[in-house]
Amino acid sequence: MSRAAPGRIEAICRRAPVIPVLVIDDAAIAEPLARALVTGGLPILEVTLRTDAALDAIKAMTRVPGATVGAGTVLNARDLERAKQAGAEFTVSPGSTDALLSASEAANMPLLPGAATASEAMHLLDRGYGVQKFFPASAAGGAPMLKALSGPLPQIRFCPTGGIGLDNAPDYLGLPNVLCVGGSWITPAHLVQRGEWEAIEALARQAAELPRP
């Protein structure tokens, strides 16, 4: 098994305290949206594969200088290949299967795999994934759960997503086993739909200034 790809995801997660989780319905807005986020200090972008426009949005965002664009909601090898062909530099999954892990390793694609329990986290660690997505964060116990996991599993670092906003992001980012958080609060639908890129840039700048240990 190649350990190169699992190792690279840590460097990606360390670049900013927040990874915007993006659901894009119109690829035409992808480039200006990415530009606003990068200018605001959030260069790591996750485009979820939940819409027909997602792959075209990834292609468009890769043209923005400074952007590192990944694909989220990657569930299987087909999703992984489609994301790679679109130009994604990393992938994110809500959970993990051995088939997806093997496909990621074969493709040398950095993957942030999801875990919600100690058993899932241990399985991923055995496969070489010391950086994991904690999802769904709020429903799975939130910051207290991650604090509890840090005792028996101090070698694992997490990117929690799910139910995280500006109000509770500091609770997660203050934990020693959290590298960054993922969230959609930086790109509220009404601002995206109206193309208010300066407002989104301001939200990105506010998120980029969140402290980490």
**Closest among 99, 101, 110 to 14, alpha carbons compared:** 110
Catalytic position from the list 59, 89, 105, 133: 133
**Closest among 87, 49, 50 to 68, alpha carbons compared:** 87
**Closest among 133, 87, 136, 127 to 109, alpha carbons compared:** 87
Strand residue runs (E) in the chain: 18-22, 44-48, 68-72, 90-92, 111-112, 114-115, 131-134, 157-160, 181-183
Q: Is 84 a catalytic residue?
A: no
Q: Is 133 a catalytic residue?
A: yes
Cβ atoms within 10 A of the Cβ of 152, count?
A: 10
**Residue 173, H or E segment:** helix 169-173
Catalytic position from the list 46, 89, 105, 201: 46
CA gap 51, 47 in Å, rounded: 10
The residues that are catalytic are 46, 133
